[in-house]
Structure 1
């Protein structure tokens, strides 16, 4: 009768169930295992997180400082030389070559093309020597045809034909070479703006490690409460909150940055397409204006945002705390309850 009464009062609560499940393990060993797992998960998560976030920042910086200006500069140079050719044709058609100051427009376009190429010389790995040489030769032929040989129609026509050939000759002319440089530079920009598989894998590793860290922290809090009689551990709770923040804030920031990179690359594609059209007459003016406007949009999208740097610094500090806080909490508990008693 007594046995039945005792059995009827047996504790079937969840706490008793888990206490029974944990009873074969020594609490000290269990806490030491949690300490090791927390340290490993936190280290892997923080390392992958910082590496992936840094790669995103480097991509944004490279696109802003190198790739985008190079694409814009090549587009501006191409339109400028075509505009110079068109302005020369207008002068010849309207017989305005002998008018004082009539050649200033095409000369200013040649100067603009030269300045565009000079600005991007240190922002591209491509060799611009041949293009610069062709531009100088083309400009010299135009000047000879419009100024020096004004009274010699045969020589003037020859120099202008020579300039036209230097400009549009298939494969080796100035415009075809600029077209090839633009396409190559756009491919470089696409590779810089896109998130590669290594970087994407880094984010997956970071998020999975953070998820494992959250579960381990919850398990450690349960063990401390169930086996040690400690309801809350402030170090582990602080580590739990920081882990959740690290799993959310850097990803959101990176997603926003990647959206900006995608939008900027889309504008760079538009710039390349607009400048690549064989525009004629006044359409060149509109194309130059559109390229200028799109370039301003790209600069705005890739503007250096101080908040991304602050998020990176916050991630670095938070990552160090995520490694240290849970480890400190468990080490203090182990030292107080077990290690000193050995």
Structure 2
């Protein structure tokens, strides 16, 4: 008997199979269950989608407004300090002290280093007080060695050696301290854009919920057509199309944004490592850092379109809740609730 029953169920078409399975349920109750399930699933999907999109958007904004400028500023400060030292030594070696305008280059580099630290003070959580004080002392030593003691070779040499020590002394010099700050800042930048476990879980929850919403919408359309003899419900059809779009478009936008952010992190590492290298001249390294920084700004500007996608996802999530409620709610009201 069991074998015959199993063979009977296999011979049924999918539509006939579900029609026989759902026959014990009253149509009104079945539609109400679909309505409740759709409301719960769309609420979960919309919440998870909104939070996941918001987290991705927040990471991109933090990288553009805080982390990237801080990394670039630290690299520029280090290179400016190194170039100031090089220019000051060249000034002394070429015996150009006292020539009008001869010291403008190293002074401008010292000014650029100081301004660079000032600009990133509100973009990093690291303490820059020690580095600022060390930069001020270093600037004083260079100025004394190239201006005040220009007629006293021994004192001049002592001040320049002192400046070299302040700049390069291992562990406590200006350049090593800036390098340590750069390393920490890069870790912050990477942590900002890395998709964590909770964010990945949010995307999985959103996508799974949207798949279940799509399946439930198809089931509701089947019930309306089979039980109620109605044509395809436009509200439910629109909700189905919207659900598919919500499952695909924000995920693609986030994937594209993540690729752009990974590229930006790679560029920031290039900027950082260029400022560490001792091979290139500081002027050449500065030019390279400027070019890569321009590329970083361009990538961050190109990713601004994702903001519109995320705003659209928010509106679409609200419609995904409203449309099924309208489609099933109006049908239940017209066919069943008013008769009670």
TM-score, normalised relative to structure 1: 0.93
Alpha-carbon distance in structure 1 between the residues aligned to 2:207 and 2:224: 26
- Structure 2 residue runs of 5 or longer lacking an equivalent are 1-10
**After the TM superposition, which residues 110-149 of structure 1 pair with which residues of structure 2 at under 5 Å, given as runs?**
110-149=110-149
Alpha-carbon distance in structure 1 between the residues aligned to 2:256 and 2:47: 21
**1:253: Cα distance to partner?**
1.1
TM-score, normalised relative to structure 2: 0.93
Q: 1:89 to 1:221 in 2, by over 3 A?
A: same
Q: 2:59 aligns to what? A: 59
Q: 1:162 aligns to what? A: 162
Alpha-carbon distance in structure 1 between the residues aligned to 2:185 and 2:52: 25
Alpha-carbon distance in structure 2 between the residues aligned to 1:305 and 1:261: 9
**1:100: Cα distance to partner?**
2.7
Alpha-carbon distance in structure 1 between the residues aligned to 2:201 and 2:307: 22
**After the TM superposition, which residues 78-117 of structure 1 pair with which residues of structure 2 at under 5 Å, given as runs?**
78-117=78-117
**1:190: Cα distance to partner?**
0.6
Select which of 302, 323, 329 maps to 1:331: 329
**1:18: Cα distance to partner?**
2.8
Q: 1:40 aligns to what? A: 40
**After the TM superposition, which residues 252-263 of structure 1 pair with which residues of structure 2 at under 5 Å, given as runs?**
252-263=252-263
**After the TM superposition, which residues 178-217 of structure 1 pair with which residues of structure 2 at under 5 Å, given as runs?**
178-217=178-217
Alpha-carbon distance in structure 2 between the residues aligned to 1:30 and 1:159: 89
Q: 2:75 aligns to what? A: 75
Alpha-carbon distance in structure 2 between the residues aligned to 1:168 and 1:98: 27
Task: Determine whether 1:222 maps to 2:232.
Answer: no
Q: 2:233 aligns to what? A: 233
**1:306: Cα distance to partner?**
4.7
The one-character-per-residue Cα deviations of 1:51-96 (angstroms, maximum 9, x if unpaired) are 1111111111110010000000000010111111111121222222
Alpha-carbon distance in structure 2 between the residues aligned to 1:147 and 1:89: 12
Alpha-carbon distance in structure 2 between the residues aligned to 1:279 and 1:173: 19
What is the RMSD of the two structures over their aligned residues, measured on CA atoms? 1.5
Alpha-carbon distance in structure 2 between the residues aligned to 1:293 and 1:204: 38
Q: 2:7 aligns to what? A: none
Find the residue that maps to 1:95 and give its secondary structure: coil
- Structure 1 residue runs of 5 or longer lacking an equivalent are 1-10
Select which of 285, 288, 298 maps to 2:286: 288
Alpha-carbon distance in structure 1 between the residues aligned to 2:13 and 2:161: 97
Q: 1:166 to 1:338 in 2, by over 3 A?
A: same
Contact 2:48–2:202 (8 Å) recurs in 1: yes
